[in-house]
Structure 1
């Protein structure tokens, strides 16, 4: 938990909740803040397996770096492996894979440092979203309805070293689908009180509505199927969350994958799991249970204590 990414505070909150849940199930679990501390704990022989609830990159454990370290050291861990984690942390490359697989996602442009945002937006057509390709939790996201709204995004781009994703704005409803093993959990339709689902609506506001399941009948089957296909196409296994929107004209549009979703009081995977009778403690146990079978072999280890 914790770490040094831009999502540190959310990760600490998630980590506290997961730690309490695991201990309530009798698991001998301890909090470890960040990757260097984890390396020290492993070095001293105190780690059997890792419940990874770090978020983000650059010191967060959601970008494949931690996963590669743990595989090299032979330590089982929760969530997708190196490929799925690294790929989905990069929204641009994830979309390229989805397009190659024939899965629906909004048109986009890759913005390198120094590129002309105004020209890119005109080519795509307003309105657009501008966001870092490799951040999460709505960090550095700009909603641009017209050219006059570009100034904050341009200012951010000038001080940001990574690539930016500029994406056509989807005109329609927002959904998310939790993945647990081979199962897509019921979709959740997200209805923020404001104009869009920003950081405040995700983690602070209490007036955001979450409707579960988000759809009915065949439409619900479709969104779960598309989400699970997107998760697998990106090389992901274990558990995660796929964000989807339904455009009024183009239908379902894939937005991104989260490979270590939040586990806070506002988080969505626990809400979806609860809808099918899986409480928070049970959810954490089922995620931990996935570490029993090593992703590197067909051998089964002893069940977690």
Structure 2
């Protein structure tokens, strides 16, 4: 079987995607299949490469790979691919839309306000005051915590908003949730063991990939009942958003005992530091076996 691995692309998450794709290619070759790396920078070259493969592993992160665009193309070409389809991918990448879907179904969220680049400074300040400080400013459609800033006072708001607008015309202001951070992978219809995230600083891009102050722990520090509750919420969110194949929900277990969804990742990172393979090892799957399990769930939606 020839498997096309889509990796790289032109999003702000290109470097992470390339590392994910390289690891996936190596695993596919170890399984005895043939991995074809495809960096979709030119449509004509991408189409030519896709004509030669039987399945596609999407290792693209951010725009294109998680927006539904590449999923729609693969649906049209009738090539089975890993992860969620066009509609659910586009919803999950847009944090505002995903929050609307999940909050309507009873999932817990802190206060938030959506802000567009066209809004004037007074409107943005008013939105922040409605949410309350401390708050978090983030681009609506970015992953890896790119452009995300914790704001503790009104004096710091303007700089954080400008940074978020560097990556997206739409941003979110959301209340800061005091608690512990966790993430839960989904493989098929199974919630994987929960991974605890510990960071000495605010868990932003630098903590993940820069200074790498964040550490990841599986098994986590959760009690059995807390673990099961987070797994149940993660699987319920996965289904509510129409996801399939695999994914990963980032959450905060608040000091108030509530579970707050943060983001559903439809193409989780698969670098050596990634948490999804860490969790799958806890159920007896090594990296290559995890990739094989994800590939076995590949499908497409008839156009």
TM > 0.5 = yes
2:242 aligned with 1:238: no
- Determine helix, strand or coil for the equivalent of 1:227: helix
Distance in 2 (CA, whole Å) between partners of 1:276 and 1:159 is 40
Distance in 2 (CA, whole Å) between partners of 1:264 and 1:216 is 28
- Determine helix, strand or coil for the equivalent of 1:191: strand
> Conserved in 2, the CA contact under 8 Å of 1:113 and 1:157?
no
Please, which of 35, 38, 41 is the counterpart of residue 46 of structure 2? 38
Partner of 1:156: 163
Pairing 1:250-289 to 2, within 5 Å after superposition: 251-289=258-296
The 3 A distance-change label for structure 1 pair 134 and 209 is: same
| Worse-matched range after superposition: 66-75 or 156-165 | 156-165
In the TM superposition, residue 114 of structure 1 has moved relative to its aligned partner by: 3.0
| Worse-matched range after superposition: 172-181 or 111-120 | 111-120
Instruction: Find runs of 4+ consecutive structure 1 residues off by over 6 angstroms.
Output: none
2:7 aligned with 1:23: no
Partner of 2:185: 178
Partner of 2:111: 107
* Number of residues of Structure 1 aligned to a counterpart in Structure 2: 290
In terms of fraction of residues, the more strand-rich structure is 2
- Determine helix, strand or coil for the equivalent of 2:100: helix
In the TM superposition, residue 208 of structure 1 has moved relative to its aligned partner by: 2.6
Please, which of 43, 46, 54 is the counterpart of residue 48 of structure 1? 54
Partner of 1:96: 100
* Alignment RMSD: 1.6
| Worse-matched range after superposition: 5-14 or 143-152 | 143-152
Partner of 2:76: 72
> Conserved in 1, the CA contact under 8 Å of 2:8 and 2:17?
yes
Distance in 1 (CA, whole Å) between partners of 2:213 and 2:23 is 22
Distance in 2 (CA, whole Å) between partners of 1:122 and 1:206 is 32
Partner of 1:196: 202
The 3 A distance-change label for structure 1 pair 272 and 238 is: same
Superposed CA offset, 1:198-217 (max 9, x none): 11221244553222233121
> Conserved in 2, the CA contact under 8 Å of 1:139 and 1:199?
yes
2:144 aligned with 1:140: no
> Conserved in 1, the CA contact under 8 Å of 2:206 and 2:212?
no
Distance in 1 (CA, whole Å) between partners of 2:164 and 2:204 is 19
2:89 aligned with 1:85: yes
**TM-score of the aligned structures, taking structure 1 as reference length:** 0.91
In the TM superposition, residue 153 of structure 1 has moved relative to its aligned partner by: 1.6
Superposed CA offset, 1:217-262 (max 9, x none): 1111100000110111111010011000011125110111010010
Distance in 2 (CA, whole Å) between partners of 1:260 and 1:158 is 24
Please, which of 45, 67, 74 is the counterpart of residue 63 of structure 1? 67
The 3 A distance-change label for structure 1 pair 94 and 206 is: closer
In the TM superposition, residue 106 of structure 1 has moved relative to its aligned partner by: 2.1
Superposed CA offset, 1:7-58 (max 9, x none): 000000000000001101101111111162321213xx3121100100001x
2:56 aligned with 1:13: no
Distance in 2 (CA, whole Å) between partners of 1:174 and 1:54 is 24
Distance in 2 (CA, whole Å) between partners of 1:160 and 1:50 is 28
Distance in 2 (CA, whole Å) between partners of 1:89 and 1:223 is 21
